[in-house]
Amino acid sequence: MDLGIRGKRALVCASSKGLGLACAWSLAREGVDVVMAARTAATLDAAAEAIRRETGATIVTVATDVTTEAGRQALLAACPEPDILV
């Protein structure tokens, strides 16, 4: 199914596991460049690498806590103008 989002940029929080990870996978499969964010770098990086291998999508990871000001600033530095926010 073509959702018309190919080439868009998504910022997906809590994306190393569960629903956030499922969203990152789905977006990458649709041709979206994804910025993945989670607190645990190792888990986040492993998830991103699996998505890259299967989809070839551009995936950027930001290991940070989005509940802090510093975390939000790090996310906005990596993805200043997201088309999609999850």
Domains and CATH numbers, the chain: 9-85 (3.40.50.720)
Distance from C-alpha of 55 to C-alpha of 74, rounded to nearest angstrom: 25
Given this model, what pLDDT does residue 1 score?
A: 67
pLDDT mean for each 10 residues of the chain (86 residues): 89 97 97 97 98 97 96 95 96
Given a contact cutoff of 8 angstroms between Cβ atoms, the answer to whether 7 and 31 are in contact is yes
pTM passes above 0.75: yes
Given a contact cutoff of 8 angstroms between Cβ atoms, the answer to whether 35 and 24 are in contact is no
Beta strands in 14-55 (DSSP E): 33-38
Distance from C-alpha of 86 to C-alpha of 75, rounded to nearest angstrom: 12
